[in-house]
Amino acid sequence: MPLIVILWIIASAFIAYVSRRTLKQPGSHGFYRFFAWEAILTLALLNIQSWFIDPFAPNQVISWILLFVSLIPLILGLGLLAKKGASRGRDESSANFAFENTTRLVTTGIYAYIRHPLYASLLYLTWGIYAKDPLSVAGILLALIASVFLYLTARSEEEENIRSFGAAYEGYLKKTWRFIPYVF
């Protein structure tokens, strides 16, 4: 069995283990996130041989920019959730990770511009990985699949946050973008 297949099986098993609670809740944001992670993993392994070929080609430059940019919303988003979100931790009944179980709505910093910096990070990561081999039909399909599942993840989480934070979150929806400030 090729090494890539073995890596995919091991990484998929890890993703399934981490997602085990949310997979029991179809329609939850974690359920959709699992499929986005799987598509991103598959795309990364599909394009792994292209990562360092011709490093100054336009597609490689675009790819590296997107990959580095993907770190910004991840770091800023996690930092603000930890600092201002007032996590209630993770109980046995919750499918969320502890950092997702916030008791306060975070609307400052990067959250003043985009509602989902962690999913935006995954979106930028996806397209950065895709840009490594932009002529791949399987690659474009996987990038599109990951993007659709990230969109579904965000929509589902928005519904969950409306239930948790009510009118405050509905007002927040009207003032912010989903993934890309001033665009989408």
Q: Over the stretch 32-87, which tens digit does the pLDDT of each residue have?
A: 999 999 999 999 999 999 998 998 999 999 999 999 999 999 999 999 998 888 76
The one-character DSSP state at 177 is: B
Q: Mean pLDDT lowest for which of 84-93, 111-120, 148-157, 161-170?
A: 84-93
Instruction: Find out whether 136 and 99 touch, Cβ atoms under 8 Å.
Output: no
Angle at 15 between CA 111 and CA 122, to 5 degrees: 30
CA-to-CA separations, 39 to 10, 69, 145, 181, in angstroms, rounded? 15, 20, 7, 24
Contact 39, 142 (CB under 8 A): yes
Sign of CA dihedral 58, 151, 120, 27: negative
81, 146 Cβ separation under 8 angstroms:
no
Predicted confidence (pLDDT) at residue 1 exceeds the cutoff of 80? no
Tokens of 174: 């009207």
Q: What is the mean pLDDT of residues 101-123?
A: 93
What sections of the chain are H helices per DSSP? 3-18, 29-46, 58-69, 71-84, 117-130, 137-165, 167-175
Please name the residue that has the structure tokens 């009207």: 174
Q: List the single range of 24-28, 79-83, 101-105, 147-151 with lowest mean pLDDT.
A: 101-105
Sign (positive/negative) of CA torsion 23, 28, 34, 39? Answer: positive
Task: Name every residue whose Cβ is closer than 8 Å to that of residue 171 and which is 6 or more positions away in sequence.
Answer: none
- The pTM assigned to this predicted structure is 0.91
